[in-house]
Amino acid sequence: MAHFAEIDKDNVVIRVLVIPDEHEHRGQEYLAADLGLGGRWIQTSYNTHAGVHALGGVPLRKNYAGIGYVYDEQADAFYWPHQIAEGWVLDLETYAWKDPNAVEEIFDEDESGVTNDGN
């Protein structure tokens, strides 16, 4: 099954529908004309979040579109337009909100294959 998001004139997602795989290649035409729904439809991937495909596939448009998400045409990305928490910033590589004060754990692997955290 393929997922398509309908976006309004401001590129805000107003609904997401699932269509049969055999119509995936012509999703816009299938939804707008064949089903008579009109509108502008953009494909989205249920398995994509923060630019990563959960099943190892090719990520599509950075994030799965949800109602209220925005579609950025230049970046070809869906993202939640509202700041998650005070001070958080939108990462323009992943289009996910991040806490700029969060400390990322850094691991390196020695020649034996053992992972060390540097302590």
Q: How high does pLDDT run on average in the chain?
A: 90
How much is the pTM? 0.82
How far CA 87 is from CA of 72, 100, 101, 102, in Å, comes to: 22, 7, 9, 11
- For the chain, the structural domain boundaries read 2-82
Span 13-57, pLDDT tens digits: 999 999 999 999 999 999 999 999 999 999 999 999 999 999 999
Q: Assess whether pLDDT exceeds 80 at residue 116.
A: no
Residue 107 has pLDDT above 90, yes or no: no
Overall average pLDDT of the 62-90 stretch: 96
